Structure 1
């Protein structure tokens, strides 16, 4: 028996068990053949919802994405905001053409007219969109011994992209000690957020940085390359700047004192 046949048999047994258990408990059985649907943008998508044990089934579909919740179908009818895009049937709902905004969780809720029997099932819809060119933020100069944060992001990819950093054209591993080229670096890299944090910055961290975004759909996209310098803290320059500031402040104070002592301020004309 092939793998597909075994999977199909397991699904059939699962559905049969759900139906029998639900009927025994006095509940209707609601299930789906595809808990997760992945489809390219602008293509049709079918979200299945099958049920049994309901005398007069009343079907509703709810969409949830983050804080957004909306009704797609109410009492076996597509709502006004979806009626030109979605078709309802006894086996589910069908999008004529999905957009990236349709990505989210859809809940199929089934009840009878009296409200005595109820069941629901969720279907996750992922609209596949390739990543766009990522943008990066890289400091032009980072001070050795200090902390430096580099960021990378793109807004179009669905599912969300993962991010990979390159230094001087070489892929940076998540663990710097695993590659001899980065053994002297001390950084943390988060592929989910795109953050690359040097803590602390070392002289070897100077170089050209590029970020790549990929989500398993479409071609990976790379950012522009940005150069980062790693510079020593110029203690001498800071001390010199402080001394110059103090000298100028001292000259200003002396000038004001000298003017007062000579009575220059008393000679200024008084306005009436």
Structure 2
């Protein structure tokens, strides 16, 4: 007697239906200026054997880098693509930004995949622009400025007087404040010891530090001078009476008897005022 046996075999697994996937091995890329940048983009498709690859750069507007099998604009002649990975040669700061790699697989269930890569081009310091006053009167404030607008990341600044570094610590003997982020060096009240040659150095860790040319800041004495005016003469007769060191707050002094005085003005400024007052004649 024969008996029957029913055999149940499992069905074969369904073919994989993974959609197109796009990844990158490095989402943030930092390179030095004038070197090459590799923006990684890797993809896997379900069925599509010839997917379309596009690269875009996002700024104020979105612009194509690679479209329809060719590079566009400034990327022509200095970019190449391997699979979907993009290489830019001789990058500059203008190339910094956010890039999108898009892969379109028309035969896949999910037809579009994309990944984002951020490129940051590092720029070494440039010689900063420096503002150093030529002359400052003793007891007055002074502000020296330094700026490098091109370095990436932003530079920090150091100041030197007669090639010796100025310290940023708040020590009792220090009569100035130095902001290493803005490059500003401020004196509340200069003294003769502040007379000297000043230069600023910019550094950001990318390349060698750069300095501006040294400039001399001269500390001069302030003066008290008097001017005699005879209001009864048609052609005013002016006479310099005195010139001596004076270091108080700037002020116009009424001396009387046809004379006026002004304190805390440089001799050069006084000479200009003297000439103008004389030219006014009896109208003064």
TM range (shorter): 0.5 to 0.7
Match of 2:176 among 186, 204, 207: 186
Aligned equivalent of 1:112: 104
- Is 1:200–2:167 an aligned residue pair? no
Instruction: Quote the offset at 1:196 in angstroms.
Output: 1.6
| Greater radius of gyration (CA) | 2
Aligned ranges 1:52-67 → 2 under 5 Å: 52=44, 57-63=51-57
Given the superposition, is the C-alpha separation of residues 197 and 209 from structure 1 closer, same or farther in structure 2, using an over 3 Å criterion? Answer: same
Aligned ranges 1:15-164 → 2 under 5 Å: 28-33=21-26, 35-39=28-32, 41=34, 43-52=35-44, 57-63=51-57, 70-75=63-68, 77-95=70-88, 97-112=89-104, 117-126=112-121, 128-144=122-138, 146-154=140-148, 157-164=151-158
Contact persistence 1:140–1:227 (CA under 8 A): yes
Instruction: Quote the offset at 1:104 in angstroms.
Output: 0.5
Given the superposition, is the C-alpha separation of residues 103 and 248 from structure 1 closer, same or farther in structure 2, using an over 3 Å criterion? Answer: same
Contact persistence 1:109–1:119 (CA under 8 A): yes
Aligned equivalent of 2:215: 226
Given the superposition, is the C-alpha separation of residues 165 and 52 from structure 1 closer, same or farther in structure 2, using an over 3 Å criterion? Answer: farther
Instruction: Quote the offset at 1:94 in angstroms.
Output: 1.0
Aligned equivalent of 2:203: 214
TM-score for the superposition, normalised by structure 2 = 0.60
Instruction: Quote the offset at 1:111 in angstroms.
Output: 4.8
Counterpart CA distance in 2 for 1:141 and 1:86 is 53
2:74 partner SS: coil
Counterpart CA distance in 2 for 1:199 and 1:55 is 72
TM-score for the superposition, normalised by structure 1 = 0.62
Contact persistence 2:128–2:148 (CA under 8 A): yes
Contact persistence 1:164–1:213 (CA under 8 A): yes
The C-alpha deviation readout for 1:61-98, integer Å capped at 9, x for no partner, is 33357x58642122554224322110122241112x31
1:87 partner SS: strand
What's the C-alpha RMSD, in Å, of the aligned pairs? 3.8
Counterpart CA distance in 2 for 1:100 and 1:87 is 16
Q: Structure 1: which 5+ residue stretches go unaligned?
A: 1-22, 254-272
Aligned equivalent of 1:252: 283
Given the superposition, is the C-alpha separation of residues 62 and 147 from structure 1 closer, same or farther in structure 2, using an over 3 Å criterion? Answer: farther
Counterpart CA distance in 1 for 2:61 and 2:220 is 47
Q: Structure 2: which 5+ residue stretches go unaligned?
A: 1-17, 227-250, 253-260, 263-269
